[in-house]
Structure formats: structure tokens, C-alpha cells
Amino acid sequence: MTDELLDVVEPTGAVLKQELRSVVHRDGLWHQTFHCLVLRSGAPARVVLQRRRAGTTSFPGRLDISVAGHLSAGEKPLDGIRELREELGIHVDPARLVSLGQRMLADDAGEGRNREIAHVYLLVDDTPLTNFNLDPAEIGGLVEVTIADLLAILEDPKLSVQGHSIDASGTTGVVTCCAQDLVPVVDGYWVVLATMALQHAHGLHPLGI
């Protein structure tokens, strides 16, 4: 984890001051993040999840949204698109992002006391798993699953499903996933994300979280 400088914000998003990331999470200060879920265009509707690095400080080895990261001091929400380049090695036009709005999250389960405003997006992208240029310093790998399977394990924690995977070294395979493999949430975020991705895949609008 880099002790970068972040904007401390009001829950409205108004910037108050700047503080180091370590201070922000120590004191539970509101800050901003960028979330993006990669959605495949073909049927059946599928999404790409990130496997967090084994050595990361929060939820190592768990499956997470495709890319996520803190917005640095002075950055606007769409500046977070750099996370796609840093973690997945792809360059994306910001106009391709589909906004799902903002998620307000307050929990103490991950990196200290977390109080964040997440700017959430979908990205329709069909880059094969083997064509992502993964950074092992950022992520552990990727897993592609159908949205139907993702919703199934969210509904039934005892259920397991299979997905296609690639690790940061480029090794591909088939992996078994269950609800316990996902980064835990306190607000139904996974269900809402999966439902909005499925709605977009079916051409239905509006979208929101």
C-alpha cells in the first residue's frame, strides 16, 4: 500500500483538505474511490472479477470488482480510469464507461476505518483474459464468471460455481468459486452490481446503485 495523498471530503463530496492515506483510514475520514466492473458483450452475460493479491493488507486472495482504487488528491472521478491501465494493462476511452452513480460505504472490515464515496462504473469490454497485461504488484489474477452464477452463489452461500481464471503469471485454468471467496460487503453491493450488469447486458435502463 502506497501512503498517497488523498482528498478528505464531506459526505456530499465537497473537498475539505488533503491527508495521507494512512491518516484517512486511521481516523475514518471520508474520501473518494473508483470502481469499475468489466462486462462481456456476448451471451451468456459474464463479468470479470479481480483476485486480490495474496500480500495485500485487506482481503488477500478474495474476489473483488474488476478494478478499484483510491482517487488521489485533486483527481476527479473519471481520472480513476488509470486503474484499468495500472491493474489490467488496458487503455480505455472514458466515454466507454457507464456510470452507476455513487456508493456510500462506512465499515471497519478492511483497511482500518473506511469511509468512502465510490464512483461506480461498468465497462463493456471483450479483451480475452490472456490479453490483459496484469501487474502482479497490483493484483493476483482474474476470474470470469456468468452473472447468473454470481447471483446464484450470492443467493445460496453453500453453492459453488466454476469460472475461467488467469493468474498474474499468465497461467490459465478453471476455478471453483463460492460466496465466501468474494470480498465481504455490508450493503448488498454485490447483488446490486450483478443485477445492474445483467440489466445493461439486456439493454435495459436506467441503471444505478
In CATH, what number is assigned to the domain containing residue 56? Answer: 3.90.79.10
55 pLDDT tier (thresholds 50, 70, 90): confident
Q: Is the pLDDT of residue 1 over 60?
A: no
DSSP 8-state class, residue 130: G
CA distance linking residue 86 with residue 44, whole number of Å: 28
In a domain, 76, yes or no: yes
Mean of pLDDT over the chain: 96
The residues with which 103 forms a beta bridge, in sequence order, are 118
pLDDT at residue 111, as a whole number = 86
In a domain, 207, yes or no: no
pLDDT in tens, 80-99: 999 999 999 999 999 999 99
User: What is the arithmetic mean of pLDDT over 103-119?
Assistant: 92
In a domain, 44, yes or no: yes
pLDDT at residue 27, as a whole number = 97
109 pLDDT tier (thresholds 50, 70, 90): confident
The residue length of the chain stands at 209
In a domain, 208, yes or no: no
| pTM: predicted TM-score of the whole model, two decimal places | 0.96
In a domain, 177, yes or no: yes
Rounded to the nearest 10°, the torsion over CA 62, 195, 116, 123 is 80
Domain housing 22: 5-201
Percentage of the chain with pLDDT > 70?
99
Domain count for the chain, please give it: 1
